[in-house]
Amino acid sequence: MSRIEFEDLGDGKFALHGELTFATASRALELSRELFADHASIELDLADIKEGDSAGLGLLLEWVNWAKNFVREIRYVNIPDDIIAIAQISEVDTMLTRGERWTGVI
């Protein structure tokens, strides 16, 4: 069964556990809305993501867009190789780091 869970590590840091796939992306987005709301800077550790697909990549890009629109910073660590590969093939890999620079920008 596909699952996605957030572990709150404090100070805007979260670890994700499970899969970032078509089966879990909507749920992850839904959960993130409340979890991210009070943080100006967010760090997501994806080391425990067992599977990722284009929907997982789409979710990471959606969070970057959210960070830009709400003047937040978002940083990904340990992005799974399968998501990086899809991002490179799609030529959007550099967009995964764009959320790291928006804090304080109007």
User: What SS3 class is residue 40?
Assistant: coil
Mean pLDDT of 2-27: 97
The residue with tokens 């979260």 is 14
The residue with tokens 């990471």 is 60
Kindly tell me if the per-residue pLDDT of 90 is higher than 80. yes
pLDDT digits (tens, 9 = 90+) for 48-86: 999 999 999 999 999 999 999 998 999 999 999 999 999
- Distance of alpha carbon 103 from alpha carbon 31, whole angstroms: 22
Q: What is the DSSP letter of 5?
A: E
Q: pLDDT tier at 106 (50, 70, 90 boundaries)?
A: very low
